[in-house]
Structure 1
């Protein structure tokens, strides 16, 4: 029996450019190989919320998952429309398509079908020994999907982000020596920052986003034994077919092991869930959304040590990832993010801030150079080792995200664009490889720094706070930027990251400063957002349909 023909619907409609989907042309070198794209693949189609989140109440009011699903998940009518669109163009809705709260439909098909469905041209490009699927220009969707589809991710699978860790290059490092070149265990860093002695994070789960590399259980067992601790329970979640795939001490394993070992050593007793995803904008965004809506593992804090300059992202990807972070904030989940390791330029031309650290819905973590012993800090300045080719903390002003209300009185420099203004970072911690963390990676003990260490350090502190305060801290910026929050930080007033210098109060190198652990926990325990006022945070009416 011949298959039933589908009456044309979407193919007869006018096409509109998907806002923010423009992708810069790929300029192949003489050695690159370019061919038509081949092989089936899967894209993530992200649709709008039923009702927008009220971002003004984030950090003050939080909502339950039931309330979130009722008001802010995808509308069933919108999902039905995407399914019909897929069927008409010969695309398959994947069986593992997430539930409506993720607002994501996974569609698979051939390059030819994808090109017709989304009005794009796809190429297969081999460059520097790796082969990628590349698209240029904008994505075009039928008129009926305009204002419903907000992002289409995965048509292009070039790498999106870089890990923000730095392996110390110089020899002669002595653990916890009171010298310029030294290293600490994460426990010793916690002592210097007055994290509460003997406190545990039992009952908490820390989510960690990884876009490559992997870990070996034997390494974790051996490492935590040297600390006199039991290794944490670590589980993995595969996102978009990402896997725990160790690639060597010089690869992304250094990032994965640093994240697990720092977070686990600080938040003793916490469970750790690592979300492995491909290093693409699709993988990155799907990983965060998966972690935020993971009702099995239920992470209360998520650590991210990957990113790239804002200019390296499409506008649709920036918006989609920020929306996932908004969801976390609304649900009472804290996200800590490394601010970058290449100073004020973030490795680009002029001044740039790193994303997702520049999202106003995450805790951006900058870096310091920390010297001290026991519980006494003798020196702490901005991390800047560019003269030794060992990086510097990221920081600056977003050109995409506006100045948040909670940062309005912090003296953030003016943005170079009318739309920007969010200052980066929010907080800081030890990140200089010259005063880095003693870490075990693939059987080797090495000293690693970078703001990659600061994100899991703060994630561990938040987990301790959640356990002690018996409630999740959630979105903490309105609290820490308030006047009473100043006493919970070591104010860093010396050093620079290139374009910006440290000074009293917030600065674009170290934010509010490094943590005084016991005071941070007390601060967060006194002003946790209430669930009782949830209805004030939820708009009862749907957004107007256009």
Structure 2
């Protein structure tokens, strides 16, 4: 790639931006140089954010923006860089609190500005069409100091939904639940319904129809909650695709358990740019004001670039500082996460989220009769994700949890908590005009998000980043001691299948000050 003559001599590699050729895809040629595109440039914070140093204190948006947003002068430098390279700035999509400045221009201008070659790819299995680059991004040294990531130059799909529809062959033996029945089995707080709260939901595809939601909530005797669709990076509420079940599961589980809460659904493309922009948009949304965000999507850590991991993890860290809890599904493919070796799913592996694993729940009346690790891989199904991060260091709040150290050094253990996820003991939901029984760890993220919304209402203020407190209160959980997810087995205390266990809802509320 030939760099601009005036900047050749001072160009450096932007750290953590190495991208290998996409797996399970083949290149079909160079991108058309005239095609228009956009990128999200993530600029460094004014000063580093260290969540533990806040001691649980929740910052106002004003304080956060002043201390941990981007510096306006550094935004001005990026604007000048864009102008020199024939790019424009989308001011409406840019944000100092989100530290995101969005640049638009032709492929030719983007290649010149960032020192990459953009290529078109087609996926082997799903036939997705996307663009990507191989190698690293190159920037003038002055700009490389202030830019943490450039998202959008690579648009390969980064995540998959962690939802599993019940196999019809298992239907006769299945014992499904409504979300309210699961909440009752887990002793969720009563006398509250999430009023005054907003639950944010991140979706990387699919959509919902108002008629489906009305039919579902009417069938369980509830008024349909207020659901708002928020478009991020051109993503829209577009029902009619494979991801509709995921969207319905998230809305219906959260809305049935916390029917008084508003729900804001952030639709975005399935790219690292879309995923990160959706989280930062939700975290800094002062209109809908979600106090908890549910994420049921993810991909193996090994499939992410280092800069993308860092950018998205930083977004989750910002959530913690602002008092927004993020619940994330840990994956449905056991200890390997669908790869050839043990790995964990991201963003569940971020140390700034509450990672949610899966169980198989058996009830006797209104009580739990048995609960084991969800793993039906032997019959062609799935299993809860869990294991040890290959990227993130062991957080202080997990220091005494007994997380294994396969690499010889302490790393973040996944998951933190668990809940019913087996399709055979799954959730009755409704989408695309029909009722389905659905499981997967996708169900556990909104299950926990609804619990947080109830507790926030009880407490009268957001609980924020819950992990340090939850790890100090193991008695607030049903300890799951039977089953495995492949390489890891359940046992007393924390384990890499179900974390601390499934919730004793009222005890979790007490621990968090509800």
TM class by shorter-chain length?
A: over 0.9
Q: Where do 1:86-235 residues align within 5 Å?
A: 86-128=82-124, 129-171=127-169, 173=171, 181-235=174-228
Inter-partner Cα distance in structure 2 for 1:24 and 1:395: 25
Q: 1:466 to 1:240 in 2, by over 3 A?
A: same
Task: Give the TM-score normalised by the residue count of structure 1.
Answer: 0.90
Aligned residues of 2:91 and 2:101 also touching (Cα < 8 A)? no
The one of 347, 363, 379 equivalent to 2:354 is 363
Q: Equivalent residue for 2:280?
A: 289
Alignment of 1:243 with 2:220, yes or no, is no
Q: Equivalent residue for 1:489?
A: 477
Q: Equivalent residue for 1:470?
A: 460
Aligned residues of 2:189 and 2:509 also touching (Cα < 8 A)? no
> 1:133 offset after TM fit, Å?
1.1
- Deviation per residue, 1:55-74 (Å, 9 max, x gap): 22356222111110110000
Aligned residues of 1:160 and 1:279 also touching (Cα < 8 A)? yes
Q: Where do 1:440-479 residues align within 5 Å?
A: 440-479=430-469
Q: Secondary structure at the match of 1:398?
A: strand
Structure 1 unmatched runs, 5+: 1-7, 175-179, 527-546
Q: 1:92 to 1:498 in 2, by over 3 A?
A: same
> 1:127 offset after TM fit, Å?
4.0
> 1:415 offset after TM fit, Å?
4.0
> 1:352 offset after TM fit, Å?
0.3
Q: 1:201 to 1:421 in 2, by over 3 A?
A: same
Q: Equivalent residue for 2:497?
A: 509
> 1:14 offset after TM fit, Å?
1.2
Aligned length: 508
- Deviation per residue, 1:480-532 (Å, 9 max, x gap): 101xx112110000000000000111000000000011111111116xxxxxx
Aligned residues of 1:237 and 1:274 also touching (Cα < 8 A)? yes
- Deviation per residue, 1:110-154 (Å, 9 max, x gap): 111001100000112334443211211101111111220000000
Q: Equivalent residue for 1:421?
A: 411
Aligned residues of 2:332 and 2:441 also touching (Cα < 8 A)? yes
> 1:76 offset after TM fit, Å?
1.2
Inter-partner Cα distance in structure 2 for 1:84 and 1:162: 37
> 1:26 offset after TM fit, Å?
4.2
Aligned residues of 1:432 and 1:449 also touching (Cα < 8 A)? yes
> 1:99 offset after TM fit, Å?
2.4
Q: Equivalent residue for 2:328?
A: 337
Inter-partner Cα distance in structure 2 for 1:12 and 1:486: 57
Q: 1:220 to 1:63 in 2, by over 3 A?
A: same
Aligned residues of 1:398 and 1:415 also touching (Cα < 8 A)? no
Q: Secondary structure at the match of 2:251?
A: helix
Inter-partner Cα distance in structure 1 for 2:12 and 2:97: 26
Q: Equivalent residue for 2:253?
A: 262
- Deviation per residue, 1:28-60 (Å, 9 max, x gap): 87x863243441000000000001112223562
Q: 1:59 to 1:372 in 2, by over 3 A?
A: farther
The one of 22, 28, 52 equivalent to 1:33 is 28
Q: Where do 1:522-541 residues align within 5 Å?
A: 522-525=510-513
Q: Secondary structure at the match of 1:25?
A: coil
Structure 2 unmatched runs, 5+: none
Inter-partner Cα distance in structure 2 for 1:59 and 1:188: 36
Aligned residues of 1:302 and 1:334 also touching (Cα < 8 A)? yes
The one of 518, 521, 525 equivalent to 2:509 is 521
Inter-partner Cα distance in structure 2 for 1:131 and 1:283: 16
Cα root mean square deviation, aligned = 1.7
Task: Give the TM-score normalised by the residue count of structure 2.
Answer: 0.96
